[in-house]
Amino acid sequence: MTNFPSDFLWGSATSSYQIEGAHDKDGKGPSIWDAYCKIPGKILNDDHGDIAIDHYHKYKEDVALLKQQGFTAYRFSIAWTRILPNGKGEVNEKGIQFYNDLIDELLANNIQPWVTLYHWDLPLALQEEEDGWLNPKISYYFEQYATVCFDRFGDRVKHWITLNEPWVVAILGYGQGVFAPGHISNSEPYLAAHHLLIAHAKAVNVYKSYFKKQQGTIGITNNCDWREPIDNQPKNIEAAQRALLFFLGWFADPIYLGDYPQVMKDRLGNRLPEFSELEKSLLKDSSDFFGLNHYTTMYAAEQDENAVETSAYGNGGLSEDQDVQISQDPNWDLTDFNWAVVPWGCKKLLEWIADRYDNPPIFITENGCAYHDKPSADGQVHDERRIQFYKSYLEACDEAIKNGVNLKGYFAWSMFDNFEWASGYSQRFGINYIDYDTLERIPKDSAKWFTKTIKEHQERHTLKDKVH
């Protein structure tokens, strides 16, 4: 039986580009995702987030849905280019006003705002003119942007996240080229990651130095999937640990232990940048909590040159640097993203974090699943698989807490149907309902997958109906 602490935080999460829309309204500048989505063939069905679910204009309705679902916290991200259209320079007051209105609406409904400063939507001007996260100056621009946000919103926002999943920015954006800005390289990911970490440290330093009176907390959110040794052979146990260090330790070790994992230094040589002593001091202890996004688990083994990779998801880093082979158990249930449902992996990862990093306060800032949740003939969403997913992962979280892990909160991904990056609108994360108003708000030319569902059920439901 689960028994979460009375002060355990329950929330849901989104990101700006995935839901806001209004991509060129009220002074907002273009981001790298605005540009990347316009390149033919980069996004499934050539979908884009120009309108998405139009949260920019419908935020009051969306906050009402949050309240209706009983959430006490909402994690959302700020679009950098809505605040600073060119990434630097003059502040866009209409963008400030939008987030002020959203924050005030949340607080009026007794929902805590948890604000992420960067969820992958880098200002396009900084990419084109400054080489994005490959330029050391990017940490200065991020520091200035963060300062504006702390100054304008910090009187009401008491929980900040600097970066969401810097691993994704580095590996998918600068290594594998499947996310914006679309670079393919075996060295750029380490440079981009280095600058992301320094940017985080500088933003935290500003917050701690000049905004103490706001009495808030600030941290970073990293993503990681559990890596279970495929058997008890020492080489495979070591491979699983190496995979975790290349995945999570890459970003967490500098913050909690003061530098990159030794295994990365040994294997990467001069492709892994070095921190100065000042940078190390800024990074060390620069997160008030451990933000974790977790979705799945893989088996790990020492790389076999003759083996065939059984998962397209990736092994947590550049494979040629890790020498780790990953695989799935064929008996595991899979989501529509082909991500394995393995609740015990969540528990093991939480315990690994607690052991390696001296049991910091942990918030699961994303966890969820993608399933085809088309209503049945009775108009209801009989969402047994998603319900079972959440039940099993929350039971795993409860077990971790009972084992001493300092887990303080849980955010379900995602609160709303959204633009799912390179997968466009073809798959959906969701909680336990389908929101017909939300579906209708997605532009039909960017939501081909939804069209049939809308047509089949509009006769039975008004646009304001919510099916639970």
Annotated binding site for substrate: 18, 119, 164, 295, 413, 420-421
Which residues carry a binding-site annotation? 18, 119, 164, 295, 413, 420-421
CB 134 within 8 A of CB 174: yes
- Tell me phi and psi for residue 247, to 5 degrees: -90, -65
3-state helix, strand, coil in the chain (%, to 5): 45, 15, 40
Hey, is 350 helix, strand or coil?
A: helix
Active-site residue flag, 456:
no
Pairing assessment for the beta strands 324-327 and 297-302 based on DSSP bridges: antiparallel
Q: Which of 20, 279, 302, 366 is catalytic?
A: 366
Separation between Cα atoms, residue 74 and residue 14, nearest integer Å: 8
- The burial of 348, by beta-carbon neighbours within 10 Å (0-12 exposed, 13-18 middle, 19 or more buried), is given as middle
Burial code (b: 16+ CB inside 10 Å, e: under 16) for 357-367 equals beebebbbbbb
Structure tokens given for 455: 């047509």
Separation between Cα atoms, residue 44 and residue 42, nearest integer Å: 7
Q: Which of 165, 188, 279, 302 is catalytic?
A: 165
Structure tokens given for 266: 């040994």
At 201, the amino acid letter reads A
> For residue 24, what are the contacts with CB-CB under 8 A and spacing of at least 6?
30, 50
Where do runs of H (alpha helix) occur along 312-447?
319-322, 343-356, 384-402, 436-441
- Tell me phi and psi for residue 3, to 5 degrees: -150, 75
Active-site residue flag, 165:
yes
> For residue 252, what are the contacts with CB-CB under 8 A and spacing of at least 6?
222, 290, 353, 356, 357
Sign of the alpha-carbon dihedral angle for 390, 392, 395, 399: negative
CB 407 within 8 A of CB 397: yes
User: Which residues on neighbouring strands pair with residue 113, listed in sequence order?
Assistant: 74
Residues in the chain: 468
Q: Which of 277, 137, 284 is nearest to 199 (CA)?
A: 137
Q: Which residues are catalytic?
A: 165, 366
